[in-house]
Amino acid sequence: MSAIIGIDISQNSSSYHLLDAGGIKETSGSFSMNRSGFESLLQRVSHVQDPRFFMESTGRYHITLAHFLLQEGHRAVIVNPVLIKQFSKANTLRKTKTDKIDAALIARYAKQAQEQISENTRTMDDRRLSVARRREQVAEQVATVKTQLKADLTVAWPEVLAKNVFTQGMLRLLSVYPCAQAIEEATDEQLALALKTPRGRGLSLSIKDLRALASSSIGIPSYGPLVKDSAQSLLFLQQKLDELTKTLVALVRQTQNLEMDIITSIPGIGEITAAHFLAEIESIDRFERYQNLIAFCGTDPGIYESGSILKKGRITKRGNPSLRRYLFLMASGVIRCNPYFKAFYDKKRDENFPHRKAMVALMNKLIKTLFAMLKKKEMFCIPT
């Protein structure tokens, strides 16, 4: 058994607790969160063979230490904080909390659970996960600004909402002419220039159409600056989202090109959702059974059992919320494009499952299918 070092991460200084291979001798200390501090940590544990470092996922503070340890040839394991909290509740009634105590707690948890640690840990926080999470944040910002733009237009120029205002061309137009009054004051030459996209393809709207939308508008011109701000923000965020999407897909393709091809062989699943799925799970080898992957997603049902009473409740949602969100998108895609999964969803609906419950069942069906395909390295084919 390897020596275990539990580390409680803080922004400037972190604590460590070492358990030797026999679990008898224990030492502890602290180190600074910089290169000299990292090197001093390795020097203090240099007397043990094959040390394994365990730390909680703490925002971003742990990433630099995990990267340093991996670069030095050591194993750094990132543990889900929920598991440490549960272990603490199960092993002590005391509420005393210090960095030193927390480091020892992580080490003792690792000693007890290191043989089972798999789907609840990450061996490193690679760039794929960081880019995936950032892309998810930007996608949420895009959705928020789209809602804001529609709200602004409802007051400033409601008639234009009959058109698709989220195209690149319309956003560029609105960022210059955000209300009916601005259209009326512009010359035909100015409007022609605004309607022309950088690639030379104009909008489906003509100058005459714009004049017609503006002529009888009930919009309030003073709200035009708000429309302009929302349109400009949305243009910026969409460009940012496109760049992050290309980066994420490229990063995942570099290391898991075959897995990407396997997942996208299912009609209804594209590269973006497949890349997010792989970035979140890291590797299918972390999961021994498909049930472990379902639990990691948090789509497993809560179970209450007492005596002769056995009830299955709602899904636990104790797993990865980002993964669960993209699995829902994948499930929505296969309903539209894949007769096999559409038939499964319809069957559940015929069994009087509400839409949400049927979607959860479909997500678990999809997880089971993806697990088998990735384990066997096989492309999708409709079962006969």
Q: Check whether residue 94 and residue 140 sit in a common domain.
A: no
Cα separation, 18 vs 25, in Å, equals: 8
The pLDDT assigned to 67 comes to 82
Give the domain extent around 140: 129-242
Together in a domain, 187 and 270 = no
144 and 106 in a common domain: no
**In this structure, are 210 and 175 located in the same domain?**
yes
Same domain, 232 and 148: yes
Final residue of a structural domain among 125, 154, 173: 125
**pLDDT for 297-341, tens place per residue?**
888 775 444 454 445 556 666 678 889 999 999 999 999 999 999
With a cut of 70, which residues of the chain have pLDDT below it? 1, 22-24, 58-59, 92-96, 114-126, 198-202, 302-318, 384
- Report the length, in residues, of the chain: 384
Instruction: Answer yes or no: is 280 within a domain.
Output: yes
Residue 96: what pLDDT? Answer: 65
Q: Give yes or no for a contact between 52 and 77, defined as CB atoms under 8 angstroms apart.
A: yes
Q: Is residue 248 part of a domain?
A: no
SS3 label, residue 305 = strand
Q: Based on the domain organization, do 235 and 287 belong to the same domain?
A: no
In a domain, 381, yes or no: no
Same domain, yes or no: 296 and 355: yes
- The residue from 125, 150, 182 where one domain ends is 125
pTM: 0.75
Check residue 25 and give its pLDDT. Answer: 74
- Give a yes or no: residue 20 inside a domain: yes
Same domain, 118 and 140: no
Locate the DSSP E strands across 26-160: 26-32, 52-56, 75-79, 121-122
Query: What pLDDT score was predicted for residue 125?
Result: 45
Predicted confidence at residue 316, as pLDDT, reads 62
Is 252 contained in some domain?
Answer: no
The separation between the first and the last C-alpha atoms of the chain, rounded to the nearest angstrom, is 47
Q: Are residues 221 and 141 located together in one domain of the fold?
A: yes
312 and 352 within one domain: yes
Domains contained in the chain, number: 3
Q: For the domain that residue 76 is a member of, what is the CATH number?
A: 3.30.420.10
Q: What is the pLDDT of residue 112?
A: 82
Nearest CA to 298 out of 286, 281, 283, 282 is that of 281
4 touches 48 (CB < 8 A):
no
Q: Domain boundary at 191, 211, 242, which?
A: 242
Look up residue 156 and give its amino acid.
A
In a domain, 383, yes or no: no
Which DSSP state fits 300? Answer: S
**119 within 8 A of 142, measured Cβ to Cβ:** no
List the structure tokens of 283: 């590797």
| Whether residue 233 is found in the same domain as residue 316 | no
Question: Is 347 part of a structural domain of the chain?
Answer: yes
Give me the pLDDT at residue 302, please.
55
For residue 279, the model assigns a pLDDT of: 93
One-character DSSP codes across 243-299: HHHHHHHHHHHHHHHHHHHHHHTSTT--HHHHHHHHHHH--GGG-SSHHHHHHHHT-
Identify whether 144 is part of a domain.
Answer: yes
If asked whether residues 134 and 120 sit together in one domain, one would say no
pLDDT in tens, 81-103: 877 887 887 776 566 678 888 89
